[in-house]
Amino acid sequence: MYLKELSELSGISGDEGEVRDFIKSHMASYADEMWVDNVGNLLILKKGRESDKKVLIAAHMDEVGMMVVRINEDGTLGVAPVGGLDVRVCLGKRVRIGDVHGVIGYKPIHLQKKMEDKFPAWRDVKVFCGFKNKDEAAENVKLGDYVYFTTTFEEKGEYFSGKAFDDRGGCSILMDLLSSGEPAYDTIFAFLVQEETGLRGSSVVVEQVKPDVAIVVETTTAGDVPELEEYRWATHLGDGPAVTFAHRGYVVDPRVFQTIVETAEEAGIRYQYKRRTAGGTDAFRFARSAYGVPAGVVSIPCRYIHSPVSLMRKDDYHETLKLMQLLVMEGEVKKAWRN
């Protein structure tokens, strides 16, 4: 498992190089072919026991974060989100801009106006890095610099915690599969860029590899938190991998969906449906690209995604890996072929 190392790497959308280099260095010995395309996707071909069909497995390398958009007279920095990041989960958190470290600050509670504590705005947030003035800040930080969370990965009891589990969890699963042996069919392992800013990386993959079927491995939001009513939960930690039947912009191909579900049931793998259809994945792009690739989604439930720290159960990770091993390495994905 590579989750710890992947989680602690920096890779906001458009700046995935550190993550890509880590995957390349660890997977090169398992690859039959490896290349980086024009937008930065890392594609690895692993030849299978049979070559009459081609499978595409994908996860995205990028994480949500921030970017410097303003250097203030007092030396603090103004930032804007990159990807779906709520300002309310960022206040008071430690961050890094290159080699510069800082803290995200906001107006003290006793100075806030009515309702301001509930609805802070990005324009009012400042990153304090210890600079005395604008000139000193401008010598060390530039507009457009990425602002990363500095969360350390931890393992406690039945849980993992850390940043960027969306979607370094999926990347780790793909790396586990790649290093575990020979797949049933020729398989492209795609590590994608800029999913969080509009599914950009996946939009150029299908025409390069021309797969017969695709499965996206994601992490997805868990709703089992005290403040949310159970009927609004998307997934639940501890109930195994989540299988998507539909999400924003895409109803999952029934044959792929049923193949994933039947494979889990026949193997006795506990699984759950993702019960909310908000959000989207790279499966949407695969299904709408070129000739329309049948695409499914298998996700690891995760609390507090798109925040400085997320929480994942170990057994959910390992059950997701087990399901993907059956689909890809044992060839159960064959049930989804379109003749």
Q: Which residues participate in catalysis according to the annotation?
A: 195
Q: What three-state secondary structure class fits 95?
A: strand
Distances (CA, A) of 236 to 69, 81, 92, 303: 37, 27, 28, 9
Query: What is the distance between the alpha carbons of residues 41 and 316, in angstroms, rounded to a whole number?
Result: 27
Query: Where are the strands (E) in the chain, listed by range?
Result: 33-36, 42-46, 50-60, 65-71, 77-82, 94-97, 100-105, 126-128, 146-149, 154-156, 159-162, 185-192, 213-221, 242-243, 246-247, 250-251, 272-273, 295-302, 310-313
Contacts of 174 (CB under 8 A, 6+ apart): 57, 58, 59, 189, 191, 217
Rg (CA), the chain: 21
40, 58 in Cβ contact below 8 A?
no
Query: What is the distance between the alpha carbons of residues 221 and 306, in angstroms, rounded to a whole number?
Result: 9
Q: Which of 188, 163, 169, 189 is nearest to 83 (CA)?
A: 163
Q: Which of 39, 45, 323, 26 is nearest to 195 (CA)?
A: 39
Distances (CA, A) of 30 to 24, 58, 175: 10, 17, 10
Which letter, b or e, does each residue of 186-197 get, where b requires 16 or more Cβ atoms within 10 Å of its Cβ? bbbbbbbbbbbb
Contacts of 126 (CB under 8 A, 6+ apart): 72, 76, 77, 78, 104, 105, 106
